[in-house]
Amino acid sequence: MTVLPTELEVVEKSAPPATAGGAPGGRSLRALVRDPGAALAGGYILLIVLMALFAPLIVRLSGWGPYEFDQQAIDPDLAGVPLGGWGGAGADHWFGVEPGSGRDIFARIVYGARVSMLIALSATALTTLLGVVLGMLAGYFGGRVDWVISRVMDFLMAFPALIFMIAILSALPAGNRSVMLVVVISLFGWPYLARVVRGQTMSLAQREFVEAARASGAGSATIVFREILPNLRSTIIVLTTLAVPGYIGTEAGLSFLGVGVVPPTPSWGQMIASSVNWYSVVPSYFAIPGAFLFLLVLSFTVLGDRLRAFLDPGGLR
Amino acid sequence: MARYLLARLSGVVLILVLVCLFTFTVFFVLSPDPAVQICGKNCNPELIERIRGNLGLDEPLFTQFTTFLGGLFAGRAYGTGEGAVECAAPCLGYSFQSSQPVWEMITERLPVTVTVAVGAAVLWLLAGVVGGLVGALRQGTWWDRGAMVIALSGLSIPNYVFALVLQYVLVVELEWLPFPQAVTLADDPALWFQSYLMPWIVLAFAYASVYARLTRANVIDTLEENFVRTARAKGLPRGQVIRRHALRPALTPVATIFGMDFAGLLGGALITEKVFGINGVGKMTADAIGRNDQPVIMGVTLLAAAFVVVGNVVVDLVYTALDPRVRLTVA
Amino acid sequence: MKRTVLARTAAIAAAVLALGACSNGGPDPSEGSGQNGGVSYTDTPENGGTVYVLQNADFSYLDPARGFDGGVNNFYRLVYRTLTTPAPGNADDPSSIVPDLATDLGTPSEDGLTWTFTLKEGVRFQDGSPITSADVKFGISRAWDPELGIGSPYARQVIDAPEGYEGPYRSGPLETIETPDERTIVFHLREPYPEFGSVVAQNSFVPFPEGTGAGDEFIDEIISSGPYRLDSYTPGSSIRLVRNEEWDPETDDVREAYPDNWEFVIGLDAATIDERLLAGQGNDANAISLTIQPATLPRVQTPQLQERLKRMEGICQTYLGLNTTKEPLNDVRVRQAINLAVDRAAVQNASGGTQFADISTTILPRTVSGYRDYDLYPSEEHRGDQEAARALLEEAGYADGFDLTLDIRSQPKMQAQAEAIQQSLEPLGINVELNVIDVSSYYETIGTPALQNDAAITGWCPDWASSASTFLPPLFDGRGITDVGNPNLAQLNDENINARIDEIRAMTDLDAANEQWGLLDEEIMELSPIVPLAVESGITLPGENITGIYANPGSASGGIDFVLVGLRDPERG
């Protein structure tokens, strides 16, 4: 999560140039599907999305809900350590149980995917909205509008986002944490997208087809939404895909530090946080949510990388 | 040059004031009444009133903000009359938890955090640049692919997960390292190194990955450039071309982001120090979050922002020294 | 007024800060959790050496007028003396109060309003000056200072003082305490208080030379009257104590003071402390800590390690307070249904399992005098009786359940306990919403009836373990409900209970009174204002070279009694 700013900076340097005219639709998509790395990554993401969507059904199949205590699965005389090897994993509890409560780790992973995806995707949506709108405004209108927006962006990007997010989340009373997480993550996330959008809007605004539209009497709104926005499509897709893993990591990290979602809602970051004490006794307790989290972030990163390569052959690769 | 510096410095001050305003708003305006939190369990309305008076919370918000700023730059007094306590500049207030001055708490622990940060920085620069170079010069080979897969993992694994994996494997399973302990270099150099090794690796991994990718891309780009091709066409050996012509332009961007990353390292140190139980500023902050010790969180937030803002200026200055093409202009 | 939470208090000039961390422990040292091996941790230590105490949090205050919690009380015992004090952990009745600076437990007058104590001869401060009755009076009068007297409230509540008296620095000497000669001190009380002999064992009764200790003087500098004096103190990091040569062991029947030095290493992570104690390298063989973490227990598997484990039974009750003013909790049947339904075994597991917690069915913990065993709301293996609970809810007209907001602290263990309660009430249709409150404002919130929700998890410890008088009255006397800092979370105001409290309080035969407190415990539980959950214990893993491990309910909230601890071999480490 700490790499979020730097990584996006790198991304920005290699953001695909605004391509006027036809969007690189079907061709890239087919190439993408044929790429084994991208296909694997996409497959894993799909799996997690399905898991999140059908969590209640899956849990019914596996037999244990995410909040159900199973006192039979833990040893009350040994501080509630799961009975049996591998953290109590077996036919009953596929991934074992949580020490102290005997709650099913599989069910909590499945439900935790909901939290991760919901927050990361909401934050991505909000960031994209803010980044695209403000970036285009700054780039298209220039002048004072640009100055104000650019200064705000400089201001927000100048800081260690993690510490600021923690500061805000810990200062505000714990109300609806999920919404607050989305807002806070987006607050510090949008400038990275906006900066690229701004630059590309600026160059697009000088292009002939925009001049032509302007000459034919189209209003600002029409030009921005009809002429410029479609040309930013691939940039936005790539940057958005690459932003998701950062947000997933950030949500998990904030939950890990205790300013994330409120219990008993399961979250992967929170599961890892509570596993810290048990790491040497029940290693599967941190390894399982850790692996799920790692693979999800990895998949989005790989997918973003590949998307960038396909949409912009002249880029980093 | 002088004019540029002046402009940059005034920019720094402006941003720092804005940061203060932001922090002040978050902690004093948006958060629940600090007086109530300070008051604790033996609380009564009278006590709350007195605390409000002592903290200056009964003043108008603007006055509170100027007092807060004044405390930062010139020190301030809490309370009036005999009971007043002088808080010397830079005054960040007192911890709710230990009643120590926050500034003192930070400076006491800063050496530990600097140790973690510097060690990690050395490690990630080495690993990142070497990894990137290997990737670029052996492009398309297994070396390249290996380095980039590791870099991709480094980007994707959350540092707290990596820390637990490392600790489980190296300390519990293989017993190659002892459980990290708080020893100084002077007391026991071997144990000191062993204790800091895992934190360094954990903190460095993600950064090293970014640097490897960046270095690789930059070196490949530079090798494509005309001046390098010319040098090669002149018949210079490959090694010499790389050393003399390609490396410097390729590494300049790395130097730039290094300054920024190093200045912003406090965020990463937070989790690393917490997981390994290292008593630095990061762990202090993590603990303060757990206890909602807001003056401490606020102090660290301000400090972190100051590092980044100052780091920015230093980076720009160094950048101009490294790359003559960049001129200093007042934006 | 003591909770399971240590008051960790801090001063910004006049400002007063208070926060919490948990303290635990218990009084039966023979009750080891591992197999009993050959080595005894109750052997008599040798004199000399340094004992190390590894801990996470710093002590609240070195100034005894300010500090008031289980952790710091135990520390005070090493450096301060009071007129009376809790008996040492190896005494026949470690819950009792015994004379310390005074020759006896005090003599009340006929009407119970005047108490007279006589000081022992040969008691001295660290500078060699004798401790006189004037010093005792001066020390006590500091409790009235509005800025210093934030610790134990008993002196102010019980001793008669002029209207508006604000301590010696603002209002001069406290004239209502008489000192007819250097060794005699006479207190006048507001009302008779048969347990005044226990009151004078409170921290706020520590003597100080006249004129000392103004403002923040005792923040990092103290004047010792006990066997050790302060050598160095780095807040948040370390405290070092060395022998106070002026302390005369002849005058002290409580403190053994075997080691020459004490070193408190502060600011260590709980996990780090456990790792160090498990490894036991170097000085760590001479180290003790409050308790290991539950997750460490499964790692203690070798016979040598098992032998070192000592369970310290707690004296604090962890309970679920039910706000009797809220619908539908104002219906006693609904409250009884909750008491029946809660799965205490799950709560026990959430608290660390059988070793770290004992299931409670009574208000008083077993370790507090007056405890009487009973269970009004029984269920198989304490798993909760859903059938009986459902029947009661139906009778009350809540067959479909209701919504309930439960206040909890943002702290992992309490969250786990709350989740266990949430789970056990779910089948009844009682939908429990967890309201997580910051650690720093938790007690402020739940102690303010206007802010309090339906229920809250909290704890209570007695201020002295020799009677239930600091346990039942503050929690259940309806006349003690206040707008802020209200300990009566249930807001129970029952005439019969109030009358019974008055009746028992007036009893001068303390044993008879304790018997009555035990009966009152059950009378209160019939109204079901709280759900007793568990008495949490500590498990300590002292270093190999440590011995003299005894728990002390009175001075240490059940933790290790420091004054008996020492080393087997002072040369080691």
Which CATH number goes with the domain that contains C350? 3.10.105.10
| 3-class DSSP state of C567 | strand
Together in a domain, C329 and C198: no
Segment of A255-269, A279-293, B20-34 carrying the highest mean pLDDT? A279-293
Tell me whether residue C107 is in a domain.
yes
Distances (CA, A) of B98 to A209, B94, B287: 65, 8, 12
Confidence of residue C29 (pLDDT cuts 50, 70, 90): very low
Res C495: pLDDT? 94
Segment of A12-26, B94-108, C360-374 carrying the highest mean pLDDT? C360-374
Kindly report, residue by residue over C539-563, the tens digit of the pLDDT: 999 999 999 999 888 776 778 999 9
Percentage of chain C lying above the pLDDT 90 cut: 64
Task: Find where tokens 């070793």 sit.
Answer: C355
CA distance C122 to B206: 66
As beta bridge partners, residue C265 has C54, C238
Of the candidates A308, A235, A315, the one whose C-alpha atom is nearest the C-alpha of residue A31 is: A308
Res C4: pLDDT? 38
Tokens for B177, please give them: 């390292």
Comparing B132-136, C47-51, C197-201, which segment has the lowest mean pLDDT?
Answer: B132-136
- Quick check: B47 pLDDT over 80? no
Q: Could you tell me if B197 and B243 are in contact, meaning their C-beta atoms sit under 8 angstroms apart?
A: no
Answer whether C434 sits within 8 Å of A277, measured CB to CB: no
CA distance C387 to C395: 12
Burial class of residue C77 (count of CB atoms within 10 Å of its CB; 0-12, 13-18, 19+)? buried
Number of domains in chain C: 2
Task: Fill in the DSSP letter of residue C119.
Answer: B
Res C143: pLDDT? 92
Q: At what angle do helices B189-224 and B159-167 cross, to 10 degrees?
A: 130
Residues, chain C: 573
Confidence of residue C128 (pLDDT cuts 50, 70, 90): very high
Of C9, C16, C440, the CB nearest to B291: C440
CA distance C507 to C510: 7
Between residues A71 and B292, which one has the greater pLDDT? A71
Tell me whether residue A93 is in a domain.
no
Tell me the one-letter amino acid at C261.
N
Number of domains in chain A: 1
Comparing B252-266, C11-25, C402-416, which segment has the lowest mean pLDDT?
Answer: C11-25
DSSP codes, A188-242: HHHHHHHHHHHHHHHHHHTSHHHHHHHHTT--HHHIIIIIIHHHTHHHHHHHHHH
Q: What is the CA A300 to chain-centroid distance, rounded?
A: 8
Between residues A63 and C186, which one has the greater pLDDT? C186
Tell me whether residue C282 is in a domain.
no
Together in a domain, C355 and C483: yes
CA distance B28 to B177: 45
Tell me whether residue A316 is in a domain.
no
Mean pLDDT in residue range C249-272: 92
- Quick check: C28 pLDDT over 90? no
Last residue of a domain, one of C211, C226, C249: C211
Confidence of residue B39 (pLDDT cuts 50, 70, 90): low
Answer whether B264 sits within 8 Å of A5, measured CB to CB: yes
Answer whether B291 sits within 8 Å of C11, measured CB to CB: no
Of C58, C236, C444, the CB nearest to B43: C444
Percentage of chain B lying above the pLDDT 90 cut: 10
Q: Could you tell me if C75 and C559 are in contact, meaning their C-beta atoms sit under 8 angstroms apart?
A: no
CA distance B292 to chain A (A): 7
Kindly report, residue by residue over B200-220, the tens digit of the pLDDT: 999 999 899 988 988 888 888
Question: Does the interface ipTM go beyond 0.90?
Answer: no
Average pLDDT, chain C: 87
Tell me the one-letter amino acid at C473.
P
Segment of A15-29, B315-329, C266-280 carrying the highest mean pLDDT? C266-280
Percentage of chain C lying above the pLDDT 70 cut: 93
Together in a domain, C363 and C508: yes
Q: At what angle do helices A283-311 and A26-34 cross, to 10 degrees?
A: 140
Whether the CB of A167 is below 8 Å from some CB of chain B: the reply is yes
Which positions in chain C touch A263 (Cβ < 8 Å)?
A: 415, 418-419, 434, 436
Kindly report, residue by residue over C437-452, the tens digit of the pLDDT: 877 678 878 888 888 9
Res C139: pLDDT? 95
Provide the CB-side half-sphere exposure for C85 (13 A, CA): 30
Tokens for C380, please give them: 């198989």
Q: Which residue of A lies nearest to C274 if distances are taken between CA atoms?
A: A277
CA distance C30 to C312: 10
Answer whether B108 sits within 8 Å of C237, measured CB to CB: yes
Mean pLDDT in residue range C450-461: 92
Res A290: pLDDT? 93
As beta bridge partners, residue C530 has C321
Which positions in chain C touch A99 (Cβ < 8 Å)?
A: 294-295
CA distance A273 to chain C (A): 10
Burial class of residue B63 (count of CB atoms within 10 Å of its CB; 0-12, 13-18, 19+)? exposed
Res B182: pLDDT? 74
Tell me the one-letter amino acid at C153.
P
Of the candidates C264, B158, C376, the one whose C-alpha atom is nearest the C-alpha of residue A245 is: B158
Whether the CB of B237 is below 8 Å from some CB of chain C: the reply is no
Mean pLDDT in residue range C123-143: 95
φ, ψ of residue C563 in degrees (nearest 5): -70, -5
CA distance A276 to chain C (A): 9
φ, ψ of residue B28 in degrees (nearest 5): -110, -25
- Quick check: A277 pLDDT over 50? yes
Mean pLDDT in residue range B164-184: 85
Q: Could you tell me if A134 and A192 are in contact, meaning their C-beta atoms sit under 8 angstroms apart?
A: no
Tell me whether residue A64 is in a domain.
no
Answer whether A253 sits within 8 Å of B160, measured CB to CB: yes
CA distance B135 to chain C (A): 40
Res C5: pLDDT? 37
Together in a domain, C321 and C462: yes
Whether the CB of A40 is below 8 Å from some CB of chain B: the reply is no
Kindly report, residue by residue over A141-189, the tens digit of the pLDDT: 888 998 899 888 887 877 778 888 888 887 777 667 888 899 999 998 8
Whether the CB of B45 is below 8 Å from some CB of chain C: the reply is yes
Q: Could you tell me if C320 and C384 are in contact, meaning their C-beta atoms sit under 8 angstroms apart?
A: no
Of the candidates B122, B316, B234, C300, the one whose C-alpha atom is nearest the C-alpha of residue A281 is: C300
Of C13, C150, C410, the CB nearest to B78: C13
Which positions in chain B touch A297 (Cβ < 8 Å)?
A: 155-158
CA distance B81 to chain A (A): 31
Tell me the one-letter amino acid at A297.
V
Could you tell me what percentage of chain B is helix, strand and coil, using 3-state DSSP and rounding each to the nearest 5? 75, 0, 20
Residues of chain B with CATH 1.10.3720.10: 102-322
Give the helix/strand (H/E) hosting C117: strand C114-118
Strands (E), C285-333: 287-289, 310-312, 317-322
Res B327: pLDDT? 52
Answer whether A258 sits within 8 Å of C410, measured CB to CB: yes
As beta bridge partners, residue B94 has B101
pTM: 0.84
Average pLDDT, chain B: 80
Res A13: pLDDT? 45
Provide the CB-side half-sphere exposure for B185 (13 A, CA): 6
Res C26: pLDDT? 34
Mean pLDDT in residue range C308-335: 92
Confidence of residue C331 (pLDDT cuts 50, 70, 90): very high
Answer whether B179 sits within 8 Å of C275, measured CB to CB: yes
Of the candidates B20, B65, B93, B71, the one whose C-alpha atom is nearest the C-alpha of residue B303 is: B20
**CATH classification at residue A298:** 1.10.3720.10
How many H helices and E strands in chain C?
16, 23
Whether the CB of B286 is below 8 Å from some CB of chain C: the reply is no
| 3-class DSSP state of C516 | helix
Domain ranges, residue C330? 313-536
Q: Beta strands C317-322 and C357-359: pairing type?
A: unpaired
B102-322: CATH topology: MetI-like fold (1.10.3720)
CA distance C392 to C387: 9
Res C533: pLDDT? 96
Tokens for B307, please give them: 């590092």
Mean pLDDT in residue range B151-165: 90
- Quick check: C189 pLDDT over 80? yes
- Quick check: B151 pLDDT over 70? yes
Percentage of chain B lying above the pLDDT 70 cut: 87
CA distance B3 to chain C (A): 43
Question: In sequence order, which residues have a C-beta less than 8 Å from that of residue B189 and are 6 or more positions away?
Answer: none
Confidence of residue A14 (pLDDT cuts 50, 70, 90): very low
Domain ranges, residue A166? 6-53+108-311
- Three-class SS of C460-513: EECCCCCCCCCCHHHHHCHHHCCCCCCCCCCCCCCHHHHHHHHHHHCCCCHHHH
Q: At what angle do helices A105-141 and A55-62 cross, to 10 degrees?
A: 170
Together in a domain, C203 and C329: no
Between residues A63 and B318, which one has the greater pLDDT? A63
How many H helices and E strands in chain A?
15, 2
Res C385: pLDDT? 94
- Quick check: C126 pLDDT over 80? yes
Answer whether A10 sits within 8 Å of B264, measured CB to CB: no
CA distance A301 to chain B (A): 7
Answer whether B55 sits within 8 Å of C441, measured CB to CB: no
Q: From chain A, which residues contact C within 8 Å (Cβ)?
A: 67-69, 71, 74-81, 99-102, 173-174, 258, 262-264, 274, 276-278, 280-281
Tell me whether residue A301 is in a domain.
yes
CA distance C276 to C266: 14
Answer whether B42 sits within 8 Å of C147, measured CB to CB: no
Answer whether B152 sits within 8 Å of A249, measured CB to CB: no
Confidence of residue B240 (pLDDT cuts 50, 70, 90): confident
Q: Is the peptide bond before B90 cis (omega within 30 degrees of 0)?
A: yes
Comparing A7-11, A89-93, C443-447, C530-534, which segment has the lowest mean pLDDT?
Answer: A7-11
Which positions in chain B touch A273 (Cβ < 8 Å)?
A: 160
Whether the CB of B255 is below 8 Å from some CB of chain A: the reply is no
Q: Which residue of C lies nearest to A256 if distances are taken between CA atoms?
A: C412
Answer whether B47 sits within 8 Å of C16, measured CB to CB: yes
Confidence of residue A105 (pLDDT cuts 50, 70, 90): very high
- Quick check: A45 pLDDT over 90? yes
- Quick check: A19 pLDDT over 60? no
Mean pLDDT in residue range C448-469: 90
Q: What is the CA A92 to chain-centroid distance, rounded?
A: 32
CA distance C4 to B202: 37
Of the candidates A56, A114, A86, A151, the one whose C-alpha atom is nearest the C-alpha of residue A283 is: A86
Tell me whether residue A36 is in a domain.
yes
Tokens for B17, please give them: 């004031």
Comparing A248-262, B240-254, C74-88, C96-110, which segment has the lowest mean pLDDT?
Answer: B240-254
Q: Is the peptide bond before C328 cis (omega within 30 degrees of 0)?
A: yes
Of the candidates A180, A2, A157, the one whose C-alpha atom is nearest the C-alpha of residue B19 is: A157
Tell me whether residue C223 is in a domain.
no
DSSP codes, A106-162: HHHHHHHHHHHHHHHHHHHHHHHHHHHHHHHHHHHH-HHHHHHHHHHHHHHHTS-HH
Answer whether C348 sits within 8 Å of A276, measured CB to CB: no
Task: Find where tokens 């218990």 sit.
Answer: C26
